[in-house]
Structure 1
């Protein structure tokens, strides 16, 4: 819409077809904008009422906050998100930065946004379904915009036994390495565990132990690597 009135007298409040919760607000005979029935009721809008420029600005601000909140709840209903992720999505939608920050603050108050809880759930889910080492967990959390200290606390609180986690991560790979000689076994399994973020010492021990559990001897020189 162009030439939207900044102030004026309400000359029309019409229902938007197909949207029972929306009204078209007319000022001095011109369509000013659509507003929610909640906003209209809260401000007791009525025909003949004069709206100052400040009053119109207040309505616009409330509408923008309401729209940003609704968009946020839709995004959060799809999956949990970090504060940074939600902020990025809302700004990408073209919502005013000040409105975005107010909505984020409110969602934090309601405990719909909590980076510490997000990080904790992320680490727990990863370790349950796809075990990985602390290095990779830190990297993944930072990619979600989680503060470094928050990420460290989440990883530390669910650290568990890195050796056992590495063995669990390696288990699905063993079948495809059943006929491999030690060099291929160590290179492929070791490379996989390293990419999963496990430290070199843990990778070395797990490769050694899993090879020996096959009843095979470790080749000379491996212990010195």
Structure 2
């Protein structure tokens, strides 16, 4: 294939992917590499798509952060890890995830904890607490926020909040 043919092929691959959902520059580069697109053509296509605004890693990171934290309740750390895996530059990741405040994290973790506690009514308290802690850990929350969320959720539900263990669970 000529460079012009490769360029059209690469452009078509990118546009099809972008039609389905926003992609990072790195994700598109990986897709083009998997199709054997030469590096100079790949970079030309990606530069052009960036120039016309179809690729914008900063916008992608901000939208991803809002979605993953707001809808899924993921922690700042978990969102940052996802963006890093998608090839977003670390400075952009830091900027995007800085929109999640400590209070936002605690609110989201408390909502998750409350839902899990309500769904687990009837389960022995220690077992239910372990389940909630596990759910929060899978969402990327550390032990301090997880315990604070469980205490807040139990208070909201009119239950006696548990005391966080001093050792053991996260050591």
> What is the TM-score of this pair, normalised by structure 2?
0.87
Alpha-carbon distance in 2 for matches of 1:157, 1:133: 12
State how 1:69-218 maps to structure 2 within 5 Å.
Answer: 69-159=11-101, 161-218=104-161
Ranges in structure 1 where 5+ consecutive residues have no aligned partner: 1-32, 34-59
- Which of the pair has the greater relative contact order for Cα pairs under 8 Å at 6+ separation? 2
Following superposition, the deviation at residue 171 of structure 1 comes to 4.0
State the aligned residue count: 165
Following superposition, the deviation at residue 66 of structure 1 comes to 1.7
Following superposition, the deviation at residue 166 of structure 1 comes to 0.9
Task: Write the deviation string for residues 67-113 of structure 1: whole angstroms up to 9, x where unpaired.
Answer: 21122111110111011100000110111111001100001101100
Instruction: Say whether the 8 Å CA contact 2:150–2:161 is kept in structure 1.
Output: no
SS in 1 for 2:48: helix
SS in 2 for 1:201: helix
Q: Alpha carbons of 1:71 and 1:223: their partners in 2 closer, same or farther (altered >3 Å)? A: closer
Instruction: Say whether the 8 Å CA contact 2:113–2:153 is kept in structure 1.
Output: no
> What is the TM-score of this pair, normalised by structure 1?
0.68
Rg larger in 1 or in 2?
1
Following superposition, the deviation at residue 223 of structure 1 comes to 4.6
Instruction: Say whether the 8 Å CA contact 2:114–2:150 is kept in structure 1.
Output: no
Instruction: Say whether the 8 Å CA contact 2:58–2:96 is kept in structure 1.
Output: yes
- Which structure's residues are more often strand, by fraction? 1
Alpha-carbon distance in 2 for matches of 1:167, 1:214: 11
Q: Alpha carbons of 1:115 and 1:67: their partners in 2 closer, same or farther (altered >3 Å)? A: same
Ranges in structure 2 where 5+ consecutive residues have no aligned partner: 167-171
Instruction: Say whether the 8 Å CA contact 1:68–1:103 is kept in structure 2.
Output: yes
Report runs of 4+ in structure 1 exceeding 4 Å deviation.
Answer: none
- Which structure's residues are more often helix, by fraction? 2
